[in-house]
Structure formats: structure tokens, C-alpha cells
Structure 1
Amino acid sequence: MSVTDDIKQRLDLVDLITGSGVALRKAGRNWSGFCPFHPNTRTPAFYVFTDTQSYYCFGCHAAGDAFNFVMQRQGLDFAGALEQLAGRTGVQLQPHTPEQATEDSRQATIRQINEDAAVYWSHILRKAQRGEAGRLYAASRSLDEATIEQWQIGYAADEWSNLLVYLTDRKGHTPEEIEAAGLIIHREGGGYYDRFRNRLIFPIRNAKGIIVGFGGRAIGDDHAKYLNTPETALFHKGSLLFGFYEGREAIREEDAVVVVEGYLDVITAHKFGFRNVVAPMGTALTLDQAGLIKKLTRTVILALDADAAGENATTKGLDALQNTLDTASNTPLITPRGGIRWEQNLEGTLKIATLPPGQDPDDVIQHDPHSWRQLIARAEPLLDYHLHASTGDLDLTSGKGRAIAVDRLAPIIALLKHDTERAHYVQKLAGLVGLSEAVIGAAVESARRGRAKLMVIPSEQESSPEAKYAREDELVSLLLRFPTIRPGVEAALKGELARFPPLQEIIRGDIREALQRTENRWIWDLWNEQVGIDQVVLEEWATSLAPALRKHALTLVQWHDTPPLPVYGPHFRAAEIAEAIALELRKTVVQQRQQQIKAMYESVEEPAEQHELLVQLMALNDYKNAITTPRQSSYFPEPLWRRESLG
């Protein structure tokens, strides 16, 4: 008998469900009640069948056994449900190896340290004299006693070793254990000091309600606004959502989750009854978070401020899906490509709600809760939002503006899986830029086949993916392993570009633009989130990525250089190789832009627009010559586009 069968045999599903707070009544041989997974208040739609130890809802079609119920009800993964039900029924799971037992003990110690720290900081905020600054700030943010107690909010005083002394002298933990929990930092000259100082402290819980780390909001302007626990054996910020544990019932009932920026936004929303609001830990929304969310709902609403929806929502501003709680900007931004892929992993719907200028969710809700409800109700589907946000900086009456709009959006539409949905957005983009649906449809279909808009370079089409991307893979590998070579690579990609003003808006000359392989772009984006934030061990970082990226990332960080790099000063040779590859990839970018502009030129009829595109094509040709041959002699005439720009 398997472990799961043993558990189900020992378990009574009716007892499990009623014990979770769902009222059931006898209905013949079975039991019925109001469904806990969707609004159901008139006629009971939820049935539990004792013979099969299973349940089914005739309203929302939720169904399954004890494992499904615990996973869906509590937002756990299968491993979490297995552990919980095994404990409930007394079933012994497979014995741990000595290594696993050691790791379990280490994690148990960190859990206890976190609990002790939360109690200490909460006491300082509520009762200690040294917590006065924290109490004043909490009052200024309308945090009353009930809210502070509900969220176990605390205060870390503006001193260097208060927590360290408490946890060692009073609770008996060692400095090494406290450092492993991420709460103190080792001094270079010896000794330790508290990581969190002069900050309002928010305990961060996982889906089981266990405190796995903390977030600290600076009091005053002399610190980074937010500070989180670093990565530990328990705290993995890409797998956590602040407020998820507290809001799991509301998320299920509302069948939607609203993602905001900060801890206080979440707490204020919950205080006013909007309990389906969560916040990420200063990271992009990850595949792990999508997996967490989709156990409870398939609808995600991102609440963005007006700046993110406006000026920053250009090609430059949409380079990364990021909530930069740990950096200078506090604006959540979302890339169309990343959002579409994240939405597809969610297997649901991603929407954007735009906040009034200069206001965050905390402001909106406290001023007028009804306006927040309306704002969320008006949230736009992701791609509708980006049709406008990605073109707000363009002149869509010009050929250049239309070309850039199609270049930005056709590959995004191509990511949509369903033909009807793609056709809908082809029609919308065609209407937006004033081109025929045939032209837009052709661009989208070309992108779907993994080709530059309407043309394919034969050698690329015929080569295998490994051969096609070998040089690009090598470049990304070198950049990951030798971060100091990045400026030289960026300079190589931008070389000569400043001499060609007509190209400034269609060629960025950055690393991401040069990468064609999807996995490389994702890995590069994720790597950029790490740089300057944490000390990253490459293989550990690669292993922590989603399964879809992990194998390729490990290949990159474990790259076998052929021939091997020199033992002494390998970064000098790495820089030479990387810059040479960058020059090759720069030519590919130019070829793609030529093909795209040619396609646009063939689709427009206005002479002025054709002339504008022709100038761009000529500039691209001159730029291509400039990066493949020595600079032209001054005795030769200036190119047409430059003569025109000089009058």
C-alpha cells in the first residue's frame, strides 16, 4: 500500500472538511454543504461522497480527495499536503537521510529564531520606551493596535546589537545560527551587528503560516526604503507573497488576487476589507509565485501607478518585470513578453489597474475605499494595457512610429496561444497603427515561426538550435562568469551607433537586444535582478531557477571554454572573446532591422512615409558598412540621411 493510500484509508474526509470550518449536513448516504471554493449561499452545491471519500461541487466543479481539498483550501503544494495529512493520521513518511535530518534541524532552528525575533520586535514596538519612534511612525501610517497585533508588526530600534544580545543572552542561540537566519551581519574586523535597525518590521509568512523572514520599512530618509531578509534555508523571496497566507480565503472567494508594491499597501487593503491583496518580495513575479497563486485563483490584477502606466511604459521602461523595493525606484513595471509568459504559466488572466497620479494603494484606499473597488473593477487585460502603454511615446501617424509599434507588439501578440485571441489583437493593433490586418497578421505569424518579421536568414533556418545560438550562449556564459567584462561588451554593441541619428529609436545597442534565444533573455533578465543586491554563487543561483530554465542556466555557468582560458588573468581573454561575439551579434540585429523596415516600406502608400522609411533603410545600410569595414574617407560624399539632417 502506498503512503497516500495509507493516509486516505485512515482519514475520514467528512471529518477533515468539517474540521476546516465547512458545515455539512447529511444528504442520504452522503453529505452536502455550501462550497468553500466559490460564492455559494443559496442552494448547497458541495457534496462529499463517503463511499469514495471524494468531493464535488456542482457549481464551480471543484473535485478531488483529501489531498486535493487540503491543497486547494490552504494553498499548499502536494508535498505540504502530504506532510500535513501524514501528521494528522500518524503515517510515517520515508525516513530522512542523515543529511536531510541535519538540514531539518537547521531549518527548525531558523524557524525558532524567527519566532523569537518577531516576539522581541513586537514587544519593542508595543511596550518598550525605545520603541517610541516606531509607534509614532506606525500612528502616522494609521496602524492601530489591532492591526499591529494581527500582523505581529514590530520595531527594530536604531541601535547596533539589541536583537543580537537578546537572541544570544536571553534565548540561547549562537551568532552563527542567527547569521544563518539572516538577522545579523558579520563584521570584517570580527563580531556581528543587527541587520535591521530603525525600521518597522513585518514578519513574512509562507503558505503554511510559518515566519520565514522579515521585511523592514525604513523610518526616515537615510536608508534604503525597504530591506528584506537575505536568501536563507527558509526565505526564498521568489517563492513568497506578503499577505498570501493571511488572504488565502479571500483570494479564493473573490477568485482574484491583487498585486501591489509594499507591505503597508497590503496591510491597509486588508484593514479595509480588501483581503485578496498581496505584494512580492522586491522581485519580479516569478513562475513559483504563479504556481502559488493558481492553487487559489487564475485571475491576477497588478495595481500600477500612473508613471508606470505612462512615461515609463515605453520600450526602455519595459525591459524588466520588477518591483524594485530594494532599489531607488519603487514603481512596479511589467514587460509585455514576461507578462504574457507569466500569464500563460498561470493559465489564467493577468490585468493591469492604473492608480491615480502620485498615489499608491495605501493612499487610495484610506481616502476612498469605494474608488479602490472601482479601480480594480476597471482593470484592463494585459495586452490591451500594453497596446497603449507601449505606443504612448510614438507618433503613429508616421511610418517610423508605426514600424516601431509593430516591432514592439507583433512579437508579443505572437506569444498568445489561441488563434481567436491572436486574431482579436491583430485587429486591434492594425486599427491602432493604421495598417491593414494582413500586414500585422503577417508580422505576427512570422514572429510565431521564430523568424525576423517577414524574412528568414537561410543559414539560421537550416541550422540546429544548438549551432544557431552557440556564440550567443558563449557570450551569456562569459557575462555571467566574468561580470567585469560587461562595460566592454556594451561599448562594442553601441559602437558607431551615435553617428547615425535616424537609428537611435530602432536600435538600442544593449545586451538584451542582441540575444535571440528565449532562455538567454530570461536568464539575463533574472541575472540583472541579482546584480548589486546579493552575493550570488553562480551554480546555486542557476539551480534555484525554474525548471524550464535551470538546465540551460547550469550549462552556461559550467561552460567548458575551448580552448581553455588562461589560468592567470582569464578575464582579459574572456573580455576579448565576448566583445568579438558582441560585434557578430550586432550585425544580426542590423539585418533584422533592415528586414523589418523593408516590410513596412512595402506596406505604406504615402510618399512622405515611404521617404522616411527609405532614409532609415539607407542609414541602416551605412551603419552596417561602418561596422564591417573601415570608416569611410572624408573625400567621399556624406550619405543622404546625413546631408538631409544637416539641411
Structure 2
Amino acid sequence: MNEIDEIRDKIDLVELINTHGVSLRKAGRNYVGFCPFHPNSRTPAFTVFPDTQSFYCFGCQASGTAFDFLMRKQGLDFPTALEQLAARAGVKLKPRTEQARAEDARRTKLLEINAAAAKYFNYVLRELKRGEPARAYVAHRAINDAMVDAFQLGYSLDDWGHLFTYLTEKKGYAPEDVEASGLAIHHENRGYYDRFRGRLIFPIRNAKGEVVGFGGRALGDGTPKYLNTPETLIYKKGELLYGLDLAREAIRVADCTVVVEGYIDVITAHQHGFRNVVAPLGTALTRGHVGLLKRLSHQVYLALDADAAGQRATLKGLNTLRESADEEGGHLVTTAQGAVRLESDVALRIIRMPEGRDPDEVIRSDPDLWQNLVTSAVPVMEFYLSAYTAGLDLTRPEDQRQALDRLLPLLKELDGTQQRVYIARIEHVVGIRAELILDLLKGKVDRPTNRRPAGKGQPDRVRPGIQVRAIPTPPPDDAPHPATSAEETEGRQPQRRPGSPTEAFLLTLALRHPTVEAAVEALLEASNLHQPALREIFGTGIEDLLENPIHKEIWRHYATLPIEWRPTNADDLTRWIDGLDEALRSTASALLAAHQRTAEDFRYRQEAEHCARSLRIEQVRRMQQHLLQRIKDEQDPRLHNDMLGRFSALTAFLATTTTPRRSSTYPDLRDTLGKE
């Protein structure tokens, strides 16, 4: 018998549940009570089965063993729940390995350093005269003292080494440990210096309330506006939600989690009594976040901005969840109420924010409006219906078909028996018969591939009711434009090259697969986090990797399209390319022709990351050569030292970055491109 089985046998589940505030009464051989995981006060749907030492709720479908109960009730991970139940059962766990004990000690040290830093930052904000900028900002955002205490807000002095000196000289921590915590950066020539300077500090805590990292908001003109702790042994931003430690009980009681975008949104919500509000740390909601939340509630509401950028962010986050669910063998299913949830039992809804207003502003000015917005949140599929039909004239057959092309992939991800729920809804909204939609889902109706050029003055000959038209290319006025690269603002930059097969392949992947853009951005951003000096030199977008002017222009046209207008399949992409100028159209068509769909297409994100890494390495090497020449010629000592620092950062990047070897199992698809 292993330790887990021994603990399960020795734990009385009825007693465990009773000690956590759930009153159970005997009902035959079993016990029943009101479920602690969702609001219910009429029907005792929570049942405990002593024979199998398991529980099940007929209301919210929560189920499991003592481990599952404790994890969900207290928001714990399995190792922590195992330790608590082992102590309760009197079971001695096997000694951990030497490596595990060393990692535990390292983790404890980093937690100690972060806790000391959080107290330091909070003291600076509250007590020091130099903390006045932070106090003024907190007052401006109408954050009261209770919230300053609850969230332990702080301020980092605009000083290069004040915190580092405090932690090493006053508290006695080793410099390398302070660096490992993410609070200090080590420079080859300058030594250690503080990562956070002149910023309002938001300590980031895990579900147990331990400070694992920090977020800092610049109070002046500093960039970036928000700066977070880099990934460390204890800080994994994709697995953390800001405010979860304070929101946990409210989430459990309400059986609902509201996810907003920023730190201030969370603090303002808690200040006004909305305690079930949390925020991701500068990233879209991930499967890691969902795994964290599903231990506490079954419903997740996303509250993002109502403008075009906010809608694109919402779509991006939802698409990430859909893709990660697919990768892990999950899928979307519909509930009896018509909402959409992941197979992990988390229902997703969208809170529609008023135009130009964020949760912080709405809650401060009108708490009742915020409550109404949460109450009227729409299911995910309703959001998709609205987003994917926006700007279309659904009285026109070609616009109907365009809407259907966007929505069909979503329908395919729903349970077969539940697809009819939204087939009927799409029939009502889009105006295409349910029978035709069902036939398309089953592949009984062929989609038109290439449109035959119509005669002069004659419309295209396509099937009635499922006509297609080119995706409109003009972007909205508020669409973001790709930023100019740092190289182009340097004044004197390395000679630009006309592009390479690797660059061409990356662009092709990005056009064919919308998720490539996010994957490349994440890769480049990670490089900048490990080497912060690179942020000042290189950007983190696909456009920053492209050197062929035509490639850059093609991507500029594509990137400025709202997400809901972007091509969703090969036919749409071909039609979009047909609408480009002749020079761009010729190059884009050649790229697509060179890269046909193959059996290895499931590797497209890995291939894109491989290309991006190779292109960035080439950029770094050329920039090194450029800087080396300038260092030789530069007479100004300040500029000379600055360029030396950049050169060192580039050298460190190359020393720690290796290009993955080519797979011996799959062909390198870039070889099929040839030279331009």
C-alpha cells in the first residue's frame, strides 16, 4: 500500500468535511448536506459515501476523495493537501530526496527575501518622505488605507541600489539570492542594481498568501509602464492570479470568479465589496489559471475593455484556452443553460464593459452598474456571435457565408449533441438554415475553393445562400500600427538585408496560423526578460524580425486587421491576398505556393519559434558588429560605456541561446522555400 492509499484509508471523510463547516445528516447508508462549493440553501445536494470514502454534489457536480475536497475547499495544490492529510492521519511521508530538500530550502529562502522586500516597499510608501509620489498616486486612484494594508502596496525608491543594500547589508541575504528572487539585476561591469526603481509596487502572492513576486507601475515617464518579476523558482506568471489569496473565500461562496485586467481594477473591486475579483499578470487567461480557479468555482467571467483592442484581447485569450484545451485532449461543451464551458468544468462568460471605461472607473462611479454588468454577462458563444458578425450585412449571402466560416470551427468544438443549441442560435442571427449548417459540419456540402472570375458586370456564380466575398482589408481608425524597431531609431543602424528563406518561412507560418504571432511574441519577450538590455535594442513582434521591405509591408497589412476580420482558412487567406497591391500579392502568393500543407503542420508553432530564434540570433550578431565599429570610433566616454554595456548584453544573449538542432524525424520545411 502506498502513502496515498494509506492516508485515504485512515481519513474519515465525513469527519473531515464536518470539521470544515459542512453539516451532514445521515440518509440511509450515506450522508447529505448543503454543498460548500456552490450557493444552495433549499435542497441538500451534497452527498458523502462512507463506503467508498468519496463525495458528489448533484447540483454542481463537484466530486472526489478527501484530497479533492481539501484542495477545492482551501485552494491547495496536491502536495500541500497531501502533507496536511498525512499529518491528520498520522502517516509519515517518505523522506524527500537530497535534490528535493535543496530545492525546498532554496524556495524558502526566496520567499523570505520577497517577504522582507514587501515589508520594505510598504514602509517606504507609508513612512518615508521620498514615498510621497506613491502616496499621491494612491490617493489619486481613491485607494483607502485598508486596501493599502490588505494588498501591502509599496514604493520602490528611484535609486539604483537602495533595496539591494537593505537586503544584503541589513538583512544579510546573499547577493546571488537577491538576484535569484528577481529583485536585483547583475551587470558585468556595474555589479548588482535594483530591478524596480521609482515604481508603485504591487506584491504578488500565491493562493496561500506567500509573496512570490512583484509588479511595478512607473509613476513618471519610465518604460515599460508595468514591470513584473521575471520567471523564478517561485514566480510563474501563467500559474498566478493577482488577488487570489484575498478573493478565495468570496469566489467559493459565490461560485464565481471575475477576471479583470489590472492590479487597480482588483483593488478597487475589493474596496467596494466585490471580493471575488482577480487579474492575470500581464497575460491572457491560461489553462494554468483555469486549473487554479476550478478548485474554487465553476464559473469564470472575463471583464475586458469594450474597445477594439479589448475585444481583440478577449478573442486572443479565448483562442488560447481553446487551443490549450485541444492540446490536452479537452474540448468546449455547452451547459444546460446554453453557456459554454471547458471540459474542465469551468463555465466562461464575458462581461461587456461600457465603451471607454474599465472596471476600476465603473466600480468607483457606479457600483450598481458593475453588479448589473456581471449579472448580465453573456456566454462565450454569444460573444463570438457578436464579434464574428460585427460589421457584416447579414442580409447579403456573401456576408452570411463569411460569418458562418468564422463560426463553424467553434461549432465543431462543441459536443455533438449540444451543437444544435447554437446551430439554432446561428440560424436566428445569421439567417442560414439549420439544415445547411449541420450539413457543413458533417462535410456534406463542399465549400467553394477558388472563385471563378465573373464576366463584366456579372456576379460570381456560387451556391445560393453560401456565397463568399473577400475579407475587407481596410483596418479601423483605432487599429494599432506595428512599432518602429529600435534599430530604425538608432540613427546609424546595421545594413538591412533583403530577407532570407527563414524569414519567408516565418511570415508564411504567421499568415497561415494566427496563433504563431502570440507564440513568437512570447518567445521574444522571454528573451528580453532574461536579458533586459535587449528590450532597448530589439522589439518583440514578428515585424521586428522581418527585413525584406515587402515582407514587412505584407505583415503590416495583416497585423492591422482586427482579429475578427483575419482569414480563418486557406480560401479566406487567398482571397485576402488577392486584395493586396500587385507587388505584395505576387510575393505573398509565392510564399503560400512554396509552403503547401503537410503532415507536419501540427508543428507550426515550434517551427515558427525555431525561425524566430534563428532570426533574432542573426540580428544580435549583426548588431554586435555594428556596435564594435562604433565603440572603436566613439570618443564620448558616456556613450562609449553605454555601447560597451549593450555589447556585453548581446554577448550574454548569444552565450545562453542555442539554436535547437533539426529533427531527424521530421523534415525541416524551410528547405522547401528556396531562395527569393
Partner of 2:527: none
SS in 1 for 2:389: coil
Are the aligned partners of 1:25 and 1:32 in contact in 2 as well (CA < 8 Å)? yes
Could you tell me which runs of 5 or more consecutive residues in structure 2 were left unpaired when the two chains were aligned. 326-330, 333-340, 451-504, 511-515, 525-541, 559-573, 617-658
Q: Which whole-Å CA distance do the structure 1 matches of 2:135 and 2:6 have between them?
A: 52
Give the deviation of 1:73 after TM superposition: 0.2
The corresponding residue for 1:577 is 671
Aligned twin of 1:327? none
Pairing of 1:335-484 with structure 2 (within 5 A):
338=323, 343-420=341-418, 422-446=419-443, 453=447
**Cα gap change, 1:434 to 1:18, in 2 (>3 Å):** closer
Output aligned runs, 1:235-634, within 5 Å: 235-308=235-308, 313=311, 317=312, 321-322=316-317, 338=323, 343-420=341-418, 422-446=419-443, 453=447, 491=551, 494=554, 503-504=578-579, 519-520=602-603, 557-560=660-663, 577=671, 579-580=673-674
- 1:109 Cα deviation from its structure 2 partner: 1.1
1:459-504 per-residue CA deviation (whole Å, 9 max, x = no partner) reads xxxxxxxxxxxx99x9799x98999975569939959x99998833
Identity %: 43
Distance 1:255 1:526 in 2: 39
TM-score by length of 2: 0.65
Distance between the aligned counterparts of 1:274 and 1:145, measured in 2? 17
Deviation of 1:161 after TM superposition, in Å, equals 1.2
8 Å CA contact 2:258, 2:300 repeated in 1: yes
Q: Secondary structure at the match of 1:232?
A: coil
Corresponding residue for 1:229?
A: 229
Aligned to 2:184: 184
1:158 shift after superposition: 1.7
SS at match of 2:307: helix
SS in 2 for 1:394: coil
Distance 1:60 1:22 in 2: 16
What letter corresponds to residue 426 of structure 1 in structure 2? I
CA contact (8 A) 2:353 2:373 kept: yes
Equivalence map 1:20-31=2 (5 Å): 20-22=20-22
Amino acid at match of 1:503: D
- Residues 371/526 of structure 1: CA separation in 2 closer, same or farther (3 Å cut): farther
Q: In structure 2, the residue corresponding to 1:350 is in which secondary structure? A: strand
CA shift, 1:525, in A, is 9.3
Asked whether the equivalents of residues 287 and 324 of structure 2 are also in contact (C-alpha less than 8 Å), the reply is no
Aligned partner of 1:68 in structure 2 is: 68
Q: Distance in 2 between matches of 1:39 and 1:563?
A: 52
Residue by residue over 1:212-247, the C-alpha shift from the partner in whole angstroms, topping out at 9 and shown as x without a partner, is 111122223433222111111111111111122221
Q: CA separation of 1:416/1:172 partners in 2, compared to 1, >3 Å: closer, same or farther?
A: same
For 1:504 and 1:262, locate their aligned partners in 2 and report how far apart those are by CA, in whole Å: 39
In 2: Cα distance, 1:12 partner to 1:562 partner = 52
Partner of 2:150: 150
Q: Which moved more, 1:163-172 or 1:251-260?
A: 251-260
CA RMSD of aligned residues (A): 4.7
**Given that residues 301 and 379 in structure 1 are in contact (C-alpha distance below 8 angstroms), is that contact kept between their aligned partners in structure 2?**
yes
Say if 1:56 and 1:64, in contact at 8 Å, map to a contact too: yes
Q: Could you tell me how far 1:129 is from its partner in structure 2?
A: 2.1
Counterpart for residue 614 of structure 1: none
Find the aligned partners of 1:69 and 1:491 in 2 and give their Cα distance. 54
Matched residue, 1:539: none
Deviation at 1:441, TM superposition (A): 3.0
SS state at 1:390 partner: helix
Report how far residue 530 of structure 1 moved.
11
Q: Report Cα offsets for 1:381-439 as digits up to 9, x if no partner.
A: 1121111212213344445433432322222222222333x223333334444433344
Aligned residue type for 1:559: R
The amino acid across from 1:300 in the alignment is V
For the structure 1 residues 514 and 243, does the alpha-carbon distance in structure 2 shift closer, same or farther, using more than 3 Å as the test? farther
SS in 2 for 1:267: helix
Write out per-residue CA displacement over residues 139-185 of structure 1, whole angstroms, 9 at most, x where no aligned residue.
11121111111112221122221210111011111111111111111
Structure 1: stretches of 5+ with no match in the other structure? 323-332, 457-470, 534-555, 566-573, 584-647
Contact between 2:71 and 2:295, CA under 8 Å: does it hold in 1?
yes
Shift of 1:87: 4.3
CA contact (8 A) 2:610 2:660 kept: no
Structure 1 residues 414 and 42: alpha-carbon distance in aligned structure 2, compared to 1, 3 A threshold: closer
* Contact 2:182–2:230 (Cα < 8 Å) also in 1: yes
Seen in structure 2, the aligned counterparts of structure 1 residues 107 and 337 have a Cα distance that, compared at 3 Å, is closer
- Identify which range, 80-89 or 162-171, moves more after superposition: 80-89
Q: Is the 8 A contact 2:290 2:346 kept in 1?
A: no
Q: Which position in structure 2 is the counterpart of 1:220?
A: 220
Q: CA deviation at 1:47?
A: 6.5
Deviations 1:345-387 (A, max 9, x none): 4333221111111111011111111111111111111121111
Distance 1:100 1:532, change over 3 A: farther
SS of alignment partner, residue 356 of structure 1:
coil
Q: Alpha-carbon deviation of 1:563?
A: 12
Q: 1:501 to 1:22 in 2, by over 3 A?
A: closer
Worse overlay, 224-233 or 44-53: 44-53
Which whole-Å CA distance do the structure 1 matches of 2:154 and 2:9 have between them? Answer: 44
Cα distance change on mapping 1:345 and 1:25 into 2, 3 Å: closer
Give the letter for the 2:662 counterpart. W
CA distance in 2, matches of 1:164, 1:82: 37
CA displacement at 1:307 relative to structure 2: 0.6
AA partner of residue 98 (structure 2): P
Aligned residue type for 1:363: E
Cα deviation, residue 42, structure 1: 5.9
Inter-partner Cα distance in structure 2 for 1:200 and 1:222: 12
Using the alignment, how far apart are the partners of 1:27 and 1:97 within structure 2? Answer: 46
Describe the shift of the 1:519–1:286 C-alpha distance in structure 2 as closer, same or farther (beyond 3 A): farther
Aligned equivalent of 1:613: none
Relative to 1, partners in 2 of residues 1:388 and 1:197: Cα closer, same or farther, differing over 3 Å? Answer: same
Provide the secondary structure at the position in 1 that maps to 2:76.
coil
Asked if 2 retains the 8 angstrom alpha-carbon contact of 1:122 and 1:155, the reply is yes
Does the aligned pair in 1 maintain the 2:38–2:297 contact within 8 Å?
A: no
- Pairs within 5 Å for 1:96-107: 96-107=96-107
Match of 2:194 in 1: 194
What is the rounded CA distance, in whole Å, between the counterparts of 2:608 and 2:430 in structure 1? 29
Please give the alpha-carbon distance, in whole angstroms, between the structure 2 residues aligned to 1:519 and 1:564.
13
Q: CA deviation at 1:199?
A: 1.7
Counterparts of 2:361 and 2:346, CA distance in 1: 29
Question: Match of 1:642?
Answer: none
What residue is the counterpart of 1:112 in the other structure? 112
Residues in 2 aligned to 1:418 and 1:114: alpha-carbon distance in whole angstroms? 49
Please identify, of 11-20 and 219-228, the stretch whose mean Cα deviation from structure 2 is larger.
Answer: 11-20
